[in-house]
C-alpha cells in the first residue's frame, strides 16, 4: 500500500473541487492539498454545462429577486439560510472567475452580458457563449496550475473513505494506470464528485457521473438528502440524451408539438403574448416544461422519430448571426448528432434525466455529519435547490460552495493534530481486498446487463411522473439487482493496469445503492412537489406533512431507512408557484 | 433524423496490455450499428457485449471533454465525433493517438502534454491583482476577438498526433500548449508576455514548428494552433531585435 500524507484531500477535479482546492490554498498556503480525480480535471463533467451561471448584476435585479426565484423554483423545499448566503456570494464568484480570465460574453461597451433562463424574473445568467461550463472549468484548471502546492493525482479512482474515532482520516484510491492502491492519509476530505444521473438510461450526463462520492458518504453513515428530486432537463437530444441548453430558450427559442403549436400555453405557462416575458411559456421552470412534454406525449401530439418521440425546439426566428454568436456549440451538436442546421430547421428534443437536486446532507458551511468530511457541488445537498433546481444555479453553486468548503476544511485542518494512521491502514487493506475480490470473481453477470436494467427501471418507476405501484416495482427491481451484484459480476478483464471494466463494476455498486436511496425516498414522499410528481392519490403539495427534507440512511444489504428533517424557512412561507399569466414583454439583450 | 436500420461493420482495434503482451496486436470485432452511432458507441458496444477488456477513455459523448481522441483509419479524431456510417462497408481501424506512449490498448500517456501546458503559464498574469470589489474588468467584443478562438482548445491532443515535429521531439511544447500561450498573451487583461517569453523563444518553443499546418486541419474546435504559433514567431523575432516593445499599444509587450 502506497501512503501519501496531506492536510486536505479534495476528491473530484471539476468546478467545485478546483474551486475548493484554490480556496483552501489561498486561505492557508502552508497546508498540503491533494486533488484527486478519476479523470484529468479538464475532462470533468462541469465541461459540458452550457447555458451559464447566475449572479445578480443588472440594475433592475436584486438579491431578493434571486432568492425568491430560487425558493419558489425549488417549491419551498430550499433551506433559506443557505439560499440567502448563496445569492449574496454568486456575483463575487462570477467576478473572481472574470479576474482569473473566464471569457464571459460581453456587451459592445465591454461590460459583461447576461441572459434569461427559465424561472427568472430578470436576466441574471452570466454566459460564455453556450460553453459556460467549459470555460469555467478550463479557467479554474489553468489557474490551479499557478499553485504547485495543489498536488494533483490525475486518474486516481477514490473507492472508499477511511474513518477513525468518528472522524474522516483518509481515502483509499486506485491509481488507474497501474491498478495500485494508494492510501491518502489526511485530516479532512472534501467530496466534489458530481451527480448520479447515469442511473437513468436516458440522461444528459457524461459517463463519469456515477455517484460514487454520494455512495461513499452514504456507506459511512452520512444521510443522502432529498434524493427523490431528480431533474429532467426538458430539451435533450432523443437517443443520446445530449443536452441542448436552456440558453436557447433564454435567447428566444420556442417549443412546438407536431401541429406546430406552442403547447406550453395549455399547461399553466401561457398566455402566449406578450413574448418573451419572464417566467412564462418557454421561460418557465424545468420541472413544468418536462411535465408538459409528458402530457403532450400522452395526447399523441409528439413527433415519432427513429430515436423515440420528440417535440421541436425552434430557433429559426433568432437568425443565423445570433445563433452562431450565442449558441455555437448547440449548432455544432445539432449538425453532428442529428444532421440538422438550427438556422433552417427545428431541433428534435425530449426530456432526459439531468441533475440530482439531492445529495450528501450538509449544512450551509458544507459540513456533513461526519467530522472532517465536507461536500460541495452536485454531490452535495447544501439546501439551495429544494425540489427543483433553477437553471444556472448549479454553476454558481460549484464556485460559491466550493470556496466555502475549501476555506472551512482549511480552518479545520489547521486545528487538528496529525492522527495515528495505523487503524486507517488496516481499514484501507480490508477495503482493498474487497475491491480485489471483485476483480477476481469467477462467475456472474456482465456489468452492462445490470447497468442497463437499472437505467430502464429508474426511467419507468422514478421518472417525470410517478405512482405508487411503479415506484414499488422499481424498489423491488433494485433490491434484486443488488442481490445479483453481490452474487457476482464477471469481468473479462483481470489485469490491474488501466482496468476500466473493474472500475465500472465498482461504480455500479455505488450506482445501485444511490438509485435505491432515490427510489425509496420517492415512494415514501406522499405528495407532489417540484420534480417529484405523482399521478396516484398524492397529486398536490402537502405542506402539513411534507414540507420536510427526506434523509435516506444506509442499512447494509437491505433498503435504506427514510426519515425526515425540517426545512429552514427564514422569510418566505410557502405559496403557490406562479408561472405564466399576464406580464410585461422583456427585451432580450 | 437518421436511419434506424441496423447493419454490421468490422472494427479493428489496436490491443496492448503491458502485463501480458510483448508487443501490440490487432483484434477485429463485428459490430451492429445504426446510422446515428459514433465510433465511440461502436467501441462501447464491444466493451459492453463482446470484450470487456478493450480499454479506451471517453466521457462527455459530445466533443467537449477532449477524452476520446483516437487514430481512426490513420487520422486523429474524436471518436464521439466520427460516425461508423462514414466508414461502412469498409472496416474501420482504431489506434491510440500517434506520438504518445501507450499505457494500454487505446489509452495514451498524456502526462507529457500536461507538463508542457504548465510551462506556458496558462493563466492571467495581471499587472496587479484586482480586488473583487472593483467588479469585472471591461473587455470589448473586439478585444475578445483577439484571443477567443484560442480559448476554445479542449486539450484533446489531436494536434500533437498530427504534428510531425512533436513526433520527432516530444520536448517540443507543441500546438495546443502554444495556442494557449497565445490565448493569454493576446488577452487585454494579461501582462504576462515577458513571463512567457522564455518558453516562446526557446528551441522547443515556437521555433520547433515547421509550419506543416496539419494541427489546425485536425482541430475539432477550429482553434488554428498553427496560426497562433506563427503569430508568436513574428513576436519572437521582433523581441529578438528589441523592437517589439515599441510596436505594442501597452506597457508590456503583446
CATH class given for the domain over B111-247: mainly alpha
Active-site residue list of A: 286
Answer whether B53 sits within 8 Å of A493, measured CB to CB. yes
Read off the pLDDT of residues A292-310 as tens digits, 9 standing for 90 and up: 999 999 999 999 998 899 9
Helix residue ranges per DSSP H, A275-339: 286-298, 320-326, 328-338
The one-character DSSP state at A223 is: P
The Cβ-side half-sphere exposure at B217, using a 13 Å CA radius, reads 9
Residue A42 contacts B, CB cutoff 8 Å: yes
| pLDDT at position B251 over 60 | no
How far is it, in rounded angstroms, from Cα A534 to Cα A77?
A: 17
Pair A327, A245: CB distance under 8 Å: yes
- Chain A touched by B15 (CB under 8 Å): no
Name the residue among A355, A356, A360, A357 with its Cα closest to residue A553: A360
Report d(CA A332, CA A335) in Å as an integer: 5
Q: How far apart are CA A163 and CA A5, in angstroms?
A: 15
> Position of cell 504547485?
A148
> Does the domain spanning A233-352 belong to CATH 3.90.700.10?
yes
Cβ–Cβ pairs < 8 A, chains A and B? 175
Judged against a pLDDT cut of 90, whether residue B4 lies above it is answered with: no
Would you call A206 and B180 a contact, using CB atoms and an 8 Å cutoff?
no
| Nearest C-alpha in A relative to B34 | A306
Least CB-CB distance to B17: which of A98, A332, A495?
Answer: A495
Q: What are phi and psi of A156, to 5 degrees?
A: -115, 130
pLDDT value of position B2: 53
Distance (Å, whole) CA A437 – CA A439: 5
**Residue B39 distance to chain A (closest CA, Å):** 12
Cα torsion angle, B224, B229, B231, B232, sign: positive
According to the model, what pLDDT value does residue B247 have? 60
Torsion of CA B180, B182, B188, B193, to 10 degrees: 110
H/E element, B115: helix B111-119
Find chain B residues with C-beta within 8 A of A138's C-beta: 151
- Which candidate, A115, A140, A145, places its Cα nearest to that of A130? A115
pLDDT above 90 covers what percent of chain B?
85
For A499, counting Cβ atoms within 10 Å of its Cβ (0-12 exposed, 13-18 middle, 19+ buried), the class is buried
User: pLDDT (tens digit, 9 = 90+) per residue, B180-222?
Assistant: 999 999 999 999 999 999 999 998 999 999 889 999 999 999 9
Q: Which of A135, A154, A332 sits opposite B151 (nearest CB)?
A: A135
DSSP A570: S
Q: Which residues of A touch B152 (CB under 8 A)?
A: 131
CB contact under 8 A, A448 and B121: no
Could B62 and A48 be called an inter-chain contact, meaning their C-beta atoms sit closer than 8 Å?
yes
Task: Please check the confidence at residue B238 and state whether its pLDDT lies above 90.
Answer: no
The domain locations on chain A are 2-108+123-230+355-420, 233-352, 427-566
The CATH class that applies to domain A2-108+123-230+355-420 reads alpha beta
Cell of A583: 406580464
State residue A522's pLDDT score. 98
The CATH class, in words, for A427-566 is: mainly alpha
Q: Is the pLDDT of residue A200 over 50?
A: yes
**Rounded-to-integer distance, Cα A149 and Cα A6, Å:** 11
Residue A136 has pLDDT above 70, yes or no: yes
Pick the residue of A59, A493, A505 with the most B CBs within 10 A to test the interface with B by mutation: A493
Q: How far is CA A317 from CA A258, A295, A320, A502, B2, in A?
A: 18, 26, 9, 49, 25
Closest CB to B60 among A47, A101, A104: A47
- Return the DSSP state at A445: B
The x, y and z cell numbers of residue B58, run together, are 471517453
CATH topology of domain B7-108: Ubiquitin-like (UB roll) (3.10.20)
| Numbered ranges of CATH 3.10.20.30 in chain B | 7-108
Q: Which residues of chain B form CATH 1.10.1060.10?
A: 111-247
pLDDT tens for each residue of A21-53: 999 999 999 999 999 999 999 999 999 999 999
Express as a percent the part of chain B with pLDDT over 70: 94
HSE at residue B15, side-chain half, CA atoms within 13 A, is 18
Residue contact A501–B53, C-beta within 8 A: yes
Closest Cα in chain A, distance from residue B25 (Å): 17
Confidence (pTM): 0.97
Please write the tens of the pLDDT for every residue from A222-264. Answer: 999 999 999 999 999 998 999 999 999 999 999 999 999 999 9
What gap in Å lies between CA A517 and CA A512, rounded to an integer?
9
* Integer Rg of chain A from CA: 23
Cβ contact, residue pair A177, B103, below 8 Å: yes
Residues of A in contact with B48 (CB under 8 A): 446-448
Taking 80 as the threshold, does the pLDDT of residue B246 lie above it? no
Q: Which band of pLDDT confidence, cut at 50, 70 and 90, is reported for residue B252? A: very low
Measured CA to CA in angstroms, residue A520 lies from A77, A538, A566, A582 at distances of 18, 16, 19, 39
Q: What is the mean pLDDT of residues A88-99?
A: 98
Spatial CB neighbours of A191, under 8 Å, sequence gap ≥ 6: A11, A12, A213, A216, A217, A360, A373, A374, A375, A376, A379, A380
Q: What is the DSSP letter of B13?
A: E
pLDDT grade for A145, boundaries at 50, 70 and 90 = very high
Tell me whether residues B61 and A493 touch, CB distance under 8 A: no
Q: Rounded to whole angstroms, how far apart are CA atoms B244 and A246? A: 45
Beta carbons of B121 and A243 less than 8 Å apart: no
Q: Is the pLDDT of residue A104 over 70?
A: yes
For residue A501, what pLDDT is reported? 98
- In 3D space, the residue among A569, A460, A582 whose CA is nearest the CA of residue A83 turns out to be A569
Q: Say how far apart CA A311 and CA A314 lie, in whole Å.
A: 10
Amino acid at each position: 500500500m502506497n501512503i501519501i500524507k496531506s492536510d486536505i484531500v479534495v476528491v473530484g477535479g471539476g468546478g467545485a473541487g478546483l474551486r475548493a482546492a484554490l480556496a483552501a490554498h489561498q486561505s492557508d498556503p502552508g497546508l498540503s492539498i491533494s486533488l484527486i480525480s478519476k479523470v484529468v480535471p479538464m475532462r470533468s463533467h462541469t465541461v459540458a454545462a452550457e447555458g451559464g451561471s447566475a449572479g445578480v448584476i443588472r440594475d433592475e435585479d436584486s438579491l431578493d429577486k434571486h432568492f425568491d426565484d430560487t425558493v419558489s423554483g425549488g417549491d419551498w423545499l430550499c433551506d433559506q439560510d443557505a439560499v440567502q448566503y448563496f445569492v449574496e456570494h454568486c456575483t463575487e464568484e462570477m467576478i473572481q472567475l472574470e479576474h482569473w480570465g473566464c471569457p464571459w460574453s460581453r456587451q459592445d461597451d465591454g461590460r459583461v452580458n447576461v441572459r434569461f433562463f427559465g424561472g427568472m424574473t430578470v436576466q441574471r445568467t452570466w454566459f460564455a457563449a453556450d460553453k459556460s461550463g467549459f470555460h469555467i472549468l478550463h479557467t479554474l484548471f489553468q489557474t490551479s496550475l499557478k499553485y504547485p502546492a495543489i498536488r494533483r493525482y490525475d486518474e486516481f479512482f477514490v473507492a472508499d473513505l477511511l474513518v477513525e474515532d468518528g472522524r474522516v482520516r483518509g481515502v483509499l484510491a486506485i491509481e488507474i494506470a497501474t491498478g495500485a492502491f494508494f492510501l491518502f492519509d489526511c485530516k479532512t476530505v472534501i467530496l466534489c464528485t458530481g451527480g448520479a444521473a447515469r442511473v437513468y438510461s436516458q440522461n444528459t450526463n457524461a459517463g463519469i457521473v456515477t455517484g460514487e462520492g454520494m455512495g461513499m458518504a452514504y456507506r459511512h453513515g452520512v444521510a443522502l438528502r432529498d434524493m427523490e428530486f431528480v431533474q429532467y432537463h426538458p430539451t435533450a437530444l432523443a437517443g443520446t440524451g445530449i443536452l441542448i441548453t436552456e440558453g436557447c430558450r433564454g435567447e428566444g427559442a420556442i417549443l412546438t408539438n407536431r401541429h406546430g403549436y406552442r403547447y406550453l400555453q395549455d399547461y399553466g405557462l401561457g398566455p402566449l403574448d406578450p413574448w418573451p416575458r419572464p417566467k412564462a411559456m418557454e421561460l418557465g421552470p424545468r420541472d413544468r416544461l418536462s411535465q408538459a412534454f409528458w402530457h403532450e406525449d400522452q395526447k399523441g401530439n409528439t413527433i415519432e422519430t427513429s430515436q423515440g418521440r420528440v417535440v421541436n425546439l425552434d430557433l429559426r426566428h433568432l437568425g443565423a448571426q445570433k445563433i452562431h454568436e450565442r449558441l455555437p456549440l448547440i449548432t455544432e451538436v445539432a449538425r453532428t448528432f442529428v444532421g440538422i442546421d438550427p438556422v433552417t430547421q427545428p431541433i428534435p428534443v425530449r426530456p432526459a434525466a439531468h441533475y440530482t437536486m439531492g445529495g450528501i446532507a450538509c449544512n450551509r458551511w458544507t459540513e456533513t455529519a461526519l467530522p472532517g468530511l465536507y461536500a460541495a457541488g452536485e454531490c452535495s445537498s447544501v439546501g439551495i435547490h429544494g425540489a427543483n433546481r433553477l437553471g444556472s444555479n448549479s454553476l454558481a453553486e460549484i464556485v460559491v460552495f466550493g470556496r466555502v468548503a475549501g476555506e472551512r476544511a482549511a480552518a479545520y485542518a489547521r486545528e487538528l493534530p496529525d492522527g495515528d494512521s495505523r487503524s486507517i491502514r488496516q481499514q484501507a487493506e480490508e477495503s482493498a481486498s474487497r475491491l480485489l475480490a471483485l476483480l477476481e470473481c469467477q462467475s456472474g453477470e456482465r456489468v452492462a446487463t445490470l447497468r442497463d436494467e437499472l437505467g430502464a427501471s429508474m426511467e419507468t418507476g422514478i421518472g417525470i411522473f410517478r405512482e405508487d405501484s411503479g415506484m414499488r416495482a422499481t424498489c423491488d427491481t433494485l433490491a434484486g439487482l443488488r442481490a445479483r451484484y453481490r452474487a457476482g459480476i464477471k469481468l473479462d478483464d483481470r489485469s490491474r493496469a488501466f482496468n476500466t471494466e473493474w472500475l465500472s463494476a465498482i461504480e455500479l455498486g455505488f450506482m445501485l445503492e444511490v438509485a435505491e436511496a432515490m427510489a425509496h425516498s420517492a415512494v415514501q414522499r406522499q405528495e407532489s412537489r417540484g420534480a417529484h410528481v405523482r399521478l396516484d392519490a398524492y397529486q398536490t403539495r402537502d405542506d402539513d406533512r411534507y414540507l420536510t427534507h427526506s434523509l435516506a440512511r444506509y442499512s447494509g444489504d437491505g433498503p435504506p431507512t427514510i426519515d425526515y428533517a425540517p426545512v429552514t424557512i427564514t422569510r418566505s412561507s410557502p405559496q403557490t408557484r406562479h408561472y405564466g399569466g399576464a406580464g410585461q414583454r422583456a427585451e432580450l439583450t | 433524423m437518421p436511419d434506424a436500420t441496423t447493419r454490421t461493420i468490422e472494427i479493428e482495434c489496436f490491443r496492448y496490455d503491458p502485463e501480458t503482451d510483448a508487443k501490440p496486436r490487432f483484434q477485429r470485432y463485428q459490430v451492429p450499428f445504426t446510422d446515428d452511432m459514433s465510433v465511440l458507441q461502436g467501441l462501447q458496444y464491444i466493451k459492453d457485449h463482446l470484450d470487456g477488456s478493450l480499454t479506451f477513455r471517453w466521457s462527455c459523448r459530445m466533443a467537449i471533454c477532449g477524452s476520446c481522441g483516437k487514430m481512426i483509419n490513420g487520422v486523429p479524431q474524436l471518436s464521439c465525433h466520427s460516425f461508423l456510417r462514414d466508414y461502412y462497408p469498409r472496416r474501420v481501424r482504431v489506434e491510440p493517438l500517434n506520438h504518445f506512449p501507450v499505457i494500454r490498448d487505446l489509452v495514451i500517456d498524456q502526462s507529457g502534454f500536461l507538463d508542457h501546458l504548465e510551462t506556458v503559464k496558462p493563466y492571467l498574469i495581471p499587472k496587479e491583482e484586482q480586488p473583487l470589489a472593483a467588479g469585472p474588468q471591461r473587455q470589448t467584443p473586439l478585444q475578445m476577438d483577439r484571443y477567443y478562438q484560442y480559448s476554445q482548445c479542449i486539450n484533446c491532443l489531436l494536434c500533437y498526433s498530427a504534428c510531425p515535429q512533436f513526433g520527432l521531439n516530444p520536448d517540443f511544447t507543441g500546438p495546443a500548449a502554444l495556442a494557449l500561450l497565445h490565448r493569454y498573451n493576446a488577452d487585454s487583461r494579461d501582462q504576462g508576455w515577458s513571463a512567457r517569453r522564455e518558453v516562446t523563444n526557446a528551441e522547443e518553443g515556437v521555433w520547433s514548428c515547421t509550419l506543416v499546418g496539419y494541427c489546425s486541419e485536425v482541430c475539432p474546435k477550429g482553434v488554428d494552433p498553427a496560426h497562433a504559433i506563427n503569430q508568436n514567431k513574428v513576436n519572437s523575432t521582433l523581441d529578438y531585435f528589441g523592437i517589439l516593445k515599441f510596436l505594442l499599444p501597452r506597457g508590456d509587450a503583446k
